[in-house]
Structure formats: structure tokens, C-alpha cells
Chains A and B, each alone.
Chain A
Amino acid sequence: MLFRNVAELVELAENKGVKIAEIMIQQEIEVTGLTRDEIIAKMDRNLTVMEQAVERGLKGVTSVTGLTGGDAVLLQKYIQSGKALSGNILLDAVSKAVATNEVNAAMGIICATPTAGSAGVVPGTLFAVKEVLKPTRMEMIEFLFTSAAFGFVVANNASISGAAGGCQAEVGSASGMAAASIVEMAGGTPKQAAEAMAITLKNMLGLVCDPVAGLVEVPCVKRNAMGASNAMTAADMALAGITSRIPCDEVINAMFLIGQTMPSALRETAEGGLAATPTGRRLQEEIFGKKQ
């Protein structure tokens, strides 16, 4: 392994004068024994899956239960109306994140980033900033490797599982990964990418995993929306030169420890939080019938 935490990752990229994406590619070559071309081609295929999922979601889908679907379309129409308050790029990211998760909820094909429940944030932000930054295909692939590098650190030092660490581990991780990638694509330094990750994750700490009826729909789709929004804002803050007082690795560790102390009812068991609200319970009964 070339790096085990964010500090090492940033140091490596800085010393070698390369992007974080490049460090991840080098590590992948070392670990898998595949060639650079094979690794790039593999990520290119994942990128294509993401593109197709967003495209499908923007045409409008509905989940099997009917709980989710169609919101990506509503948001796109709203953006086109010219009345949007929070900025078209940000809302485009939100809409595309939602599109991906609506496809996921409809049991469509997606690429987990880092999980399926949080699959919207990374592609959502990527395809929104793409409209402004006009990246090459290779730069878009690099965006995903940068996300992979940060996700890799979180997965090995904390968790990317809602059942183990709550939603902070899923959408929280995804948002941090996306923020770091946006910064790098926009020309920020490796250190700024790490700052963006830290700022994002700090604002996702404690987020519980409380899916209504155990479905990856409510609140997952909207959590991806806010995750994308959080990532965009944190990326802009980092690019503006704002830093996190708590270093990224310490934020990741804090997330891990919070996950450890989170009660089981709030870790993907559909027993607490929104799942346990009167409406959450009612929806569960409507979908699966009363518990025996």
C-alpha cells in the first residue's frame, strides 16, 4: 500500500507533484498487477454506467413501491424556469444525484460510489461540474480515482457501511469523496482536496441510517441530494482557501467512533429515526403488511 491515511496521500501527491488520482492509479497497479490501460478502461466502464443511470433518471423513473421517483425531473424543470435561488450548477448536481438514486431505488443498474445507497453524490456532482469545467474524458476518470482514494482511506480506517456506521459512513463518505474530487478537477491542490473532504464530513457526522421500511428510498434519495449540495459548498470553501481546524484523518476517526457508539436502531435496521415515525411505520405496513 502506498498510503494508509489522508495525510500520507496528500504528502505523496505533493512530493511527486501529481494529482491524487495518479497516486490511486499507481497503487491500483501495484495491488492488482493490472496495467495502467486496463485499470483506466475499467474505470471508464464504471463512468459509462454512471452516465447511463443519470440519463435514465432524468427521463423519470418510479420505484417498485412508488415511494420515490420523478424528483430529478421536477428539479431540472425548475432550473430551466430560471427561478432557482441556490444556483444552477448546485441544483444540477442535486438533480443528477437524485436521478442516480431514483434509478437505484427502481432496481436499475448503477455503480456503487462507495455504496449503492450513496451512489448519487459522486456522479451527480461530476456531471454538474462537467458543464462548467469542460473536462476531458480522462479528467472525468481521474475524478473517480480521486474519489476512490479518499473513499479507500475512509473504508479502511472507519466504515462505508450504514449497518456498521450509519448514513454518515455512506452519504457522508460519498460527499467527502466528491468534494475532494471537485476541488482537484477545478485545479485545487491535494491539500485543498483534503480540506474539502474534512469540511464535508464534519457536517455529516452523526447522520443516522433510518430507511423507512428498510428500503433505500426514504430518506436515502434526498440524503444524496443534500450530500451533493454539501460537497459542492465544501469544495468552493476549500478552493476559497478555507481550511478545517480538525485534520481530515481526525474527522474520519471521529466518524468511526461515532458509528461505534450509534445504537443499532439507527444503523440500517429500520427500527429508529424516520423509519419509526408514525408515517414511516404506516408506509412499512402498506408495503409489507402488518408484522405477524
Chain B
Amino acid sequence: MKYRSAFDIIGPVMIGPSSSHTAGAARIGRVARTLFGKQPSKAEISLYGSFAKTYKGHGTDVAIVGGILDFDTFDERIPSALQLAEEAGIEVIFTVEDTVTDHPNTVRVKLTEGDRDIELVGISIGGGTIEITELNSFELKLSGEHPAILVVHNDQFGVISAVTNILSKHQINIGHMEVSRKEKGKMAIMVIEVDQKIGQDVMTELEGLPNITQIIRMVD
């Protein structure tokens, strides 16, 4: 079940003209911004498939940049996002790709600031609903059927058990979990799919753990 809520169908409230190419695109941009944690100085955006063919007409470009500026889908500043990004000192580079991807609405977003960067691949599957399929070359396999969190952490011993201990204490059962890292001892990520809703108290507790860089809800 990719769609879980009535508001995936009746919603989102958004600036037109396309839920997949405008609202979904804005949401992918905003996830990238949230994961990055601050405003980048550079945004490299590669468009694939239908995104590549029709981005001008759908305002996909302004929507993604609007998302990177932390705008919601209904933010009336979206149409002028390119200009606002320039004023904010963000260098925006668009690339239109020919490569055929699994999903027709695919975008790769890379955000950079100093020596920090993140790169993700998002797909817009219709009606404004999105999925993040790749993060910093880690392939994410989320069913979308259960609540899920993404934990960015230092690749140190004990971090994984500290996280799962807190979940266990709150009687949250893990249905699926993936752990990966780019390089030994550097940044690592965990994707955890659970059966119960993860409350804000649990999130706060997880955030307080040592060696945790960031925790993000991927699916509510």
C-alpha cells in the first residue's frame, strides 16, 4: 500500500499546476533540505523521464527549488523560487538527463555547503505522494506501508543497539531494518520500519543519543 491516508487522495493543498510535477517535486526538494539541515550554497538537480520532458510547463524546476528553500506545497512564493534562490545566494544547476529510469518522474538532488553534501534520488508517484529511493548512494527500500525513520549517525559501535533499545523500551516492533555506510568510521545510516507509530517523545529520546546526527520520519 503506497498510499495510506485519505489525504494522499484528497490533497495536498498546493500551488498548481501538477501534483506529481509541482507538489511532489516541491516535497522532494524539501526532504533534501530537511535532510541537509540548512540552506545549501549549491543545488544540483538532475531531471529524468517525464520530469525531464515537461519540467518547464509544470513548474517542476521552481517547485524543487522552492522545496530546497523550505517552502511547503501551497507556498505562494513557489512560482518565484528561482529568483528567491538567487537572492539567497544559492547556485542552482539543472541537468536534463536522457537515461531511462524505473519511474518516469525521477529527480536527483545534490545539495552542497562547504565540504558537506547530500545527494538523494526521489520519485513522484502521483497525487503529490513521493518516495526517496536513494540517499548518498544508499539504496532505500521502504514499502511505505509502515511508519519508518531514517537515522543518520556516526559509524561507531553501540549506536545501532542504543537506537533499537529505545524502540524496544517503548514497545515498538521493528519490521524491517537496513544499515549501511559509505566508509568505515564515517557517516552511516539506518532505515527502520516499525509496526507502531513513533511518537515525538521517542523521536526526542533518539535524537538525544550520542553519535546521532539526524533522525527523520520517512513515513508517518
- A contacts, CB < 8 Å to B: 1, 4, 24-25, 27-28, 31-33, 39, 42-43, 45-46, 49, 103-117, 119, 122, 144-145, 147-149, 151-152, 155-156, 159-164, 169, 177, 211, 213-217, 264, 267-271, 287-288
Contacts and interface: CB of A to CB of B under 8 A. Distances in A.
B9 A45 contact: no
B211 interface: no
Given A112-B128, A163-B50, A214-B54, A43 B17 contact: no
Contact of A163 (B15, B22, B23, B104): B104
A288 B56 contact: yes
Contact of B126 (A109, A159, A214): A159
Contacts of B197: 33
A15 B74 CA distance: 39
B19 A214 contact: no
A115 B17 contact: no
Nearest to A215: B57
B54 A112 contact: no
A1 B21 CA distance: 28
Most chain B C-beta atoms within 10 Å of own C-beta, residue among A43, A112, A119, A270? A112
B128 A115 contact: yes
Most chain B C-beta atoms within 10 Å of own C-beta, residue among A49, A106, A145, A163? A163
B172 interface: no
B119 to A, nearest CB: 23
Interface string B10-22: 1111111111111
B11 A111 contact: yes
A42 B56 contact: no
Contacts, number: 178
B6 A24 contact: yes
Q: Which 4 A-B pairs have the closest CB atoms?
A: A214-B54, A161-B126, A214-B57, A104-B16
Contacts of A155: 2-3, 8-9, 126-127, 129
Given A109-B74, A164-B126, A214-B54, A148 B9 contact: yes
Interface of B is mostly: mixed
A160 B79 CA distance: 25
B164 to A, nearest CB: 22
B44 interface: no
Interface residues of B, number: 47
A110 B13 contact: yes
B10 A113 contact: yes
B6 A43 contact: yes
B57 A270 contact: yes
Given A148-B6, A155-B127, A112 B12 contact: yes
B6 A112 contact: no
Contacts of B22: 116
B64 to A, nearest CB: 15
A270 B54 contact: yes
Given A31-B4, A112-B14, A270-B57, A117 B19 contact: yes
23 contacts: A1-B1, A46-B11, A46-B13, A104-B16, A109-B15, A110-B16, A111-B10, A115-B128, A116-B14, A116-B18, A116-B23, A119-B19, A152-B3, A162-B20, A163-B105, A211-B57, A214-B57, A215-B54, A217-B17, A267-B104, A269-B104, A270-B54, A288-B57
